A and B are shown apart, each in its own frame.
Chain A
Amino acid sequence: MTPRRETAKAQDGVLTEMPMRFGEDPLLWAAWLYYEDGMTQGDIAKKMGLSRASVNAYLADARTRGLVNIEIEPDRFRAVSIAVALKERFDLQDCLVIPSEGGERSLTERLGAAGAQALRRVMRPGDTLAVTWGRTVLAVADALSHPGLDDLRVVQATGSTTARIPWTPETCASRIAQALHASWVPISAPAIVSDPALRRDLLNQPLLAEQVAVLAEANRILMGVSSMRPESTIHTSGFLDSADHHRDYPDAVASIVGRLVSARGAAVTGPVNDRTIGIDLEALRRIPQRIAVAGGIDKIAAILAVLRGRFANVLVTDAATARGILKADGWQESPRRPALASATPGSAQIRSHAKKLFNAPQDAVDESLAGALTAHGAIIGPVPETSRAVMALDGPREGKVGIVIGGGSGHEPGFWGYVGKGCADAAVIGNIFAAPPPGPILAASRAVNRGAGLLYIYGNFSGDVMNFDMAAEMAGAEGVEVRSVVTTDDIASSPPDARGSRRGVAGNVFVFKIAGAAADMGASLSECEAITRRAAARVYTMGLALEPARLPDTRQPSFELGPEDMELGVGVHGEPGMVRHKLVPADDAADMLLDRILQEMNPARGDKVAVLVNSLGGTPAMELYILTRRIGQRLRAKGIILHRTLVGPYYTSLDMEGVSLTLLHLDDELVTYLDHPCQSAALTITARP
């Protein structure tokens, strides 16, 4: 935990600059200079004005306190450099940056504690503190305890709001007043009144006039920052009930003190402005010290706007938010070690312009599809009226549901590899990593429709959803009944509670197989849809990339990955993944993928699974089998039965080096469909002995 080293600086009454949160901690400074900046102990002693022996003692102390633990706790040190960067860039009096994660408490609670700490440091006898409202402000109140100072006043910065939220202006201000043992001055009026004349009349009431006069005397203000997202405080508190922010305040990205601010930091005025009772932005800027306590990724744009407008001059936030604010404002983090800095830029050049067997890159998709038809002409044939779809020769038949699959190309043998008897009836492909247009989807639909309806199956990408939806509407207009199943197996792409927004990737292979079997065995459209949905709900994929894919026309990597890095949760389109990680050995990589999947799948001993160890294009069989070996060991140890194992390039991403692991959590019915014989270019299953 944070070494608490309150500096014994005399309270000088007038606040100039409060000490940087970690800036006066010599122990931390010394560790920083030594471990991060690579300075010698002698240099550090000179720089800090200490003896070499004390530097040595500090470093030893830092190690024993766990401050330095082979690696230095990165967030804490980042906090220092980030706080400095924010302070300089936005001309802040001070900036306190806490680590973004730690312990059980929520970010709001932790920011509240940091805000309380900042407030305790700055409050002086005789101060008048204005207070706004919101979750974070209330969290400050919760964390605040103070012995009390003479003649403190806390005043509400705005009128009151509806009581449907726990963090109303009156609650926040009164709680802060209580914690500071200060006298509390409410603003005895609603924050928003129905018309400007009423506001004038109210402000002429002696009681309110007196309270507002106190507000005008505030020398500090404590405030939260609200974004304009639908779930933000400015909306939930009913502040803008009478206004539509997109219509009335289209430029607003942030809200403070119930007033709105644009991305440039300008005040945004609208219909509620002259109906608001409370401090306005101009008066706010006249308050000498304006402390904003706010954090969270969703608030970055809002906090940046507030800083650009100079509406706050002290910021309490967390490291991730602080980095986000700086990054959004165009700040470049300086490389932490010179050795890394020289290694990174050159490496991208070395790997660019891969050698490729292409004719004209723009012909690659059509030519490879033509090759597939050449190689697998016994299984698939062309679809009339389009060059971008194939159909099963021995697939569609009267009374059988037609299975139409598809997506962008670049995933070969996806999608044409899964067309054939007992599998999909047609596959439609788009340009590289781009959804096919509705035209070829409709052409394929017409070609395989035999009167029993069609089932579209594709991965969850906005382009695929829009194009397949348009095609389904067009097919529907021609009297063909179409149902759609959108696959969402990529567990890295969204948390479990947002499964619906996950991508659909290699798990498609199992889902296509199950759907094809159901149709082949004579299931109705509704039955096909139901079993396909069940398969889609029970399939989990997680990927990792060692090198990004390189696109045919540029032959350049689609994103950059450092020489010692791998990317976890990588997308099949060469999208960057969710987390960058140091390269690890094969068994550790297998464990990382498997553990995440098992955590969600939660299988019982004796459960059956189907496993796909999939190459993303550039990883050879040797590595795939090394991973397969480890996955087998782990599953056996858990008492889980590997019913079927697929290993190879089943669903690729051009030449991306990397793998994905897919597990299908089987049940008896899924076993039947999975074992049903099929013959397609990429997957052939014969009856089990």
Chain B
Amino acid sequence: MRPLAAADLTDLFRLMAARIDAERLALGALDGAIGDADHGNSMAEGFSALAHACAEAESRGVATGDLFAIAAHAFLGAVGATTGPLYASAFLQAGQRFAGQVTIDPVDLTEILGDFSEAIAQRGKASPGDKTMLDVWTPAARAVAEARSKGSGAIARLDAAVAAAIEGREATRAMVAAAGRAARLGPRTLGHVDPGAASAAIIIVALRDGMTAFFARGSK
């Protein structure tokens, strides 16, 4: 199996951007219920900027591993908001793992879930159970680590992450928001899926689907 080149990583980012964009209104509606309804726009604009910047950098011959830092800055510059610093930190931390690498081993790429989870927890200062995106990133990262310890391959690890992400997203329904803007609403957040958790799950599903497509292409 060949490793991921810059174009492959850019494709993954493009797929994430497309999936987020398709859910832009739905994410906005989720946010409207318990926040300020901007989450769909913020995420869509951030991922769109990120995918463009990476495509542009890839055409300049930037090493695959260095795309993460470019993604981070593009996302932050386009968005700000709450998601800007959180995802920028996440991409930066993942980028440290691969800095300077010309290609990335697909199995190694699954480790970014752990990086995302850690960086987002650190920047956002939320804990699992606070009804935030962390309630998806943390269990997804844990699922990858568990699958890794069983010796599973990249897709199996990502499948585990997707299952954990979806479960994590649904679990936010039963949570009372304790961090972020929704925290002010307290009990009124019950029964609602957290928008940040919903978009995190979209990203993880897109990563899994994109990697599945990558493997399908590679085997032809």
**Is the Cβ of A250 less than 8 Å from the Cβ of B128?**
yes
Q: Which of A38-46, A193-201, A390-398, A425-433 contacts B (4 or more CB under 8 A)?
A: A425-433
**Is the Cβ of A578 less than 8 Å from the Cβ of B184?**
yes
Nearest Cβ on chain B to A426's Cβ, whole angstroms: 16
Report if A431-B81 is in contact (Cβ < 8 Å); known contacts: A324-B190, A554-B25. yes
A503 at the interface (CB under 8 A from B): yes
**B96 cross-chain contacts in A, Cβ below 8 A:** none
A105 at the interface (CB under 8 A from B): no
Partner of A304, one of B86, B138, B174, B180: B174
Could you tell me the distance between the alpha carbons of A106 and B19 in the complex, rounded to whole angstroms? 48
Partner of A433, one of B33, B34, B36, B45: B36
Contacts of A304-340 to chain B: CB distance below 8 A: 304-305, 320, 324, 327-330
Partner of B176, one of A297, A432, A437, A470: A297
**Is the Cβ of B36 less than 8 Å from the Cβ of A467?**
no
Question: 1/0 per residue B150-185: CB within 8 Å of A?
Answer: 000000000000000000000101111001110111
**A408 cross-chain contacts in B, Cβ below 8 A:** 38, 81
Q: Which of B54-62, B71-79, B197-205 contacts A (4 or more CB under 8 A)?
A: B71-79
A278 at the interface (CB under 8 A from B): no
A571 at the interface (CB under 8 A from B): yes
Nearest Cβ on chain B to A243's Cβ, whole angstroms: 16
24 A–B contacts from the bound complex (CB under 8 Å): A246-B128, A250-B138, A250-B139, A300-B174, A300-B187, A301-B174, A330-B173, A431-B45, A433-B37, A434-B41, A434-B82, A463-B80, A463-B84, A470-B85, A501-B183, A551-B38, A558-B32, A559-B37, A573-B181, A574-B32, A575-B36, A575-B185, A576-B34, A578-B185
For the complex of A and B, the 3 pairs showing the least CB-CB separation, nearest first, are A573-B36, A434-B81, A463-B82
Overall SS of chain B's interface:
helix
**Is the Cβ of A575 less than 8 Å from the Cβ of B35?**
yes
Partner of A229, one of B41, B82, B129: B129
Report if A298-B37 is in contact (Cβ < 8 Å); known contacts: A434-B80, A438-B76, A576-B188. no
Nearest Cβ on chain B to A358's Cβ, whole angstroms: 14
Contacts of A457-497 to chain B: CB distance below 8 A: 461-463, 466-467, 470, 493-494
Contacts of B16-68 to chain A: CB distance below 8 A: 25, 28, 32-38, 41-42, 45
Interface centre among B25, B174, B179 (most CB of A within 10 A): B174
Question: 1/0 per residue B109-150: CB within 8 Å of A?
Answer: 000000000000001100111000000001100100000000
**Is the Cβ of B84 less than 8 Å from the Cβ of A467?**
yes
B191 at the interface (CB under 8 A from A): yes
**Is the Cβ of A329 less than 8 Å from the Cβ of B174?**
yes
Interface centre among B38, B78, B128, B184 (most CB of A within 10 A): B184
**B180 cross-chain contacts in A, Cβ below 8 A:** 462
Count A interface residues, CB 8 Å. Answer: 52
**A229 cross-chain contacts in B, Cβ below 8 A:** 129
Could you tell me the distance between the alpha carbons of A461 and B42 in the complex, rounded to whole angstroms? 15
Report if A437-B186 is in contact (Cβ < 8 Å); known contacts: A301-B175, A431-B42, A553-B41. no
Nearest Cβ on chain B to A458's Cβ, whole angstroms: 12
**Is the Cβ of B179 less than 8 Å from the Cβ of A462?**
yes
Partner of A571, one of B36, B81, B82, B191: B36
What is the chain B residue whose CB lies nearest that of A502? B184
Nearest Cβ on chain A to B218's Cβ, whole angstroms: 34
A632 at the interface (CB under 8 A from B): no
**Is the Cβ of B142 less than 8 Å from the Cβ of A250?**
yes
Report if A439-B174 is in contact (Cβ < 8 Å); known contacts: A253-B129, A328-B190. no
A435 at the interface (CB under 8 A from B): yes
Interface centre among A435, A462, A559 (most CB of B within 10 A): A462
Question: 1/0 per residue A432-451: CB within 8 Å of B?
Answer: 11111111000000000000
Contacts of A404-434 to chain B: CB distance below 8 A: 408, 430-434
Contacts of A247-273 to chain B: CB distance below 8 A: 250-251, 253, 263
**Is the Cβ of B181 less than 8 Å from the Cβ of A575?**
yes
**A557 cross-chain contacts in B, Cβ below 8 A:** 32
**B81 cross-chain contacts in A, Cβ below 8 A:** 408, 430-431, 434-435, 463, 467
Partner of A263, one of B32, B79, B171, B183: B171
Could you tell me the distance between the alpha carbons of A238 and B175 in the complex, rounded to whole angstroms? 25
What is the chain A residue whose CB lies nearest that of B178? A229
Nearest Cβ on chain A to B205's Cβ, whole angstroms: 20
A228 at the interface (CB under 8 A from B): yes
**Is the Cβ of B80 less than 8 Å from the Cβ of A467?**
yes
Nearest Cβ on chain A to B10's Cβ, whole angstroms: 22
What is the chain B residue whose CB lies nearest that of A299? B176
Report if A298-B176 is in contact (Cβ < 8 Å); known contacts: A431-B80, A434-B79, A470-B85. yes
Nearest Cβ on chain B to A228's Cβ, whole angstroms: 7
Could you tell me the distance between the alpha carbons of A408 and B32 in the complex, rounded to whole angstroms? 16
Nearest Cβ on chain B to A360's Cβ, whole angstroms: 13
Could you tell me the distance between the alpha carbons of A551 and B175 in the complex, rounded to whole angstroms? 27
Nearest Cβ on chain B to A46's Cβ, whole angstroms: 37
Nearest Cβ on chain A to B71's Cβ, whole angstroms: 14
Could you tell me the distance between the alpha carbons of A466 and B87 in the complex, rounded to whole angstroms? 12
**B124 cross-chain contacts in A, Cβ below 8 A:** 462, 466
Nearest Cβ on chain A to B146's Cβ, whole angstroms: 10
Could you tell me the distance between the alpha carbons of A486 and B181 in the complex, rounded to whole angstroms? 15
**Is the Cβ of A466 less than 8 Å from the Cβ of B85?**
yes
Could you tell me the distance between the alpha carbons of A304 and B138 in the complex, rounded to whole angstroms? 21
**Is the Cβ of A437 less than 8 Å from the Cβ of B25?**
no
**A432 cross-chain contacts in B, Cβ below 8 A:** 38, 41
**Is the Cβ of A558 less than 8 Å from the Cβ of B191?**
no
**B191 cross-chain contacts in A, Cβ below 8 A:** 327-328, 330
Report if A575-B184 is in contact (Cβ < 8 Å); known contacts: A246-B128, A462-B179. yes
Could you list 17 further interchain pairs (A-B, Cβ under 8 angstroms) beyond the known A439-B77, A554-B28, A571-B36? A297-B186, A301-B171, A330-B191, A432-B38, A434-B42, A435-B82, A437-B80, A438-B76, A463-B85, A466-B123, A467-B81, A493-B184, A551-B37, A558-B36, A571-B181, A574-B36, A575-B36
**B34 cross-chain contacts in A, Cβ below 8 A:** 575-576
Question: 1/0 per residue B69-105: CB within 8 Å of A?
Answer: 0000000111111111110000000000000000000
